[in-house]
Amino acid sequence: PCPKGQNNTKKGTAIMKTTVLRKYARLIATVGANIKKGQEVIIAAELDCPKFVELLVAECKCLIHVPTS
């Protein structure tokens, strides 16, 4: 199940909930999974919370990004 409030459609509340979900995704990626730069990441998830999965993928991409220079 989705974290409480993810499906809330009120404009101000939805923005706040997305912020909270993004922080939770960052916590999972940095502390829970301890993802490092250049590391391969595979996420297996149910799609009952697609917005949270999107946020988690975005956080992981930020952490594993290796600049091409």
CA atoms within 13 A on the CB side of 25: 24
Q: Is the pTM for the entire model greater than 0.75?
A: no
Q: Which of 66, 68, 2, 69 shows the shortest CA–CA distance to 25?
A: 2
pLDDT of residue 48: 85
pLDDT by residue (tens digit) across 1-48? 445 544 545 555 556 688 999 999 999 999 999 999 989 999 999 888
CA–CA dist 69, 59 (Å, integer): 22
52 touches 3 (CB < 8 A): yes
DSSP letter at 30 equals I
Give the type of residue at 55: L
CA–CA dist 22, 9 (Å, integer): 17
